[in-house]
Amino acid sequence: MKKGIIVASFGTTYEETRKLCIESIENRVREKYKDFLVLRAFTSQMVINKLKKRDNYNVNNIREALEEMKNDGIEEIYIQSLHILSGYEYEKILRQTEEFIKDNRDCSVKIGKPLLYDDEDYEKIVKILNLPDVKADEWIILMGHGTSHETDISYDKLEKIFREKGYEKVSIATVEGRITIEDLIPKLKNEGVKKVFLRPFMLVAGDHVINDMVSEEEDSWKSILEKEGFNVEGILEGLGQLREIQDIYLQHIEKIMD
């Protein structure tokens, strides 16, 4: 029986980071599972629609990718989420898959966990990022996407593990979660910080990183921090570029196959 793997991410409208952070993982999946049909899916319909309208570039959503698998005669399907948290976008995968299965009882579909799920994944990520030592008046801030979903607390858990591993000058703030960049400014000033390194904790270095983190717009993190007197340096590297992060996603596929 033919088998298939759907690699599912939120998606991005930026071609370069798509190739670096999403296609790179898809290619590793194809390399490892040569006998499988491997398809891409985005969970953001907004991103899908924009790519279609702007570039005439077609990407499946989850249901469409599942239907394509079915039409190719594939009844054993695995979906690997490239999301960071098991939040709303991950739940979208679960929901669309459940709807598909109701209409296709002959298909078996298993879904791999996102990046921050098992305790061991948190430990691995801290080791993989291998953040550099900083001077007494320097600080590292990781930009997470954040969410109103309860899984936003995952960032707190990760920051706690950074502390346990000896990273005293690392904080995580989010674009849309509970802890924002403004929340960290009093702490930075209290610690006598002069220079801040900004680094994305997102799969891709896309719109949030380019515009919200390091642009010259007045509401970017870089501009906000500079107005408060900090020297700011941005590091533009999505997590999907790191081979060791890719390994975690591949291990999550192995788990659902086992």
Buried b (16+ CB within 10 A) or exposed e, 206-227: bbbbbebbbeeeeebbbebbee
Residues 85, 22, 247, CA angle at the centre, nearest 5°?
Answer: 70
User: Beta strand 195-200 with 231-234: parallel, antiparallel or unpaired?
Assistant: parallel
Annotated binding site for Co(2+): 145, 176, 208
> Is 101:109 a contact under the CB 8 Å cutoff?
yes
> Is 192:186 a contact under the CB 8 Å cutoff?
no
145 is catalytic: yes
d(CA 177, CA 160): 17
> Is 225:181 a contact under the CB 8 Å cutoff?
yes
CA quadruple 118, 123, 127, 133: dihedral, nearest 10: 130
For 123-165, give the DSSP string: HHHHHHH-PPP--TTEEEEEEE---SSGGGGHHHHHHHHHHHT
> Is 78:5 a contact under the CB 8 Å cutoff?
yes
Under the phi-then-psi rule, with left for phi > 0, alpha for psi from -120 to 50, and beta for the rest, what region is 189? alpha
In the chain, which ranges are E strands? 3-9, 36-42, 76-81, 108-112, 138-144, 170-174, 195-200, 231-234
What residues are labeled active site?
A: 145
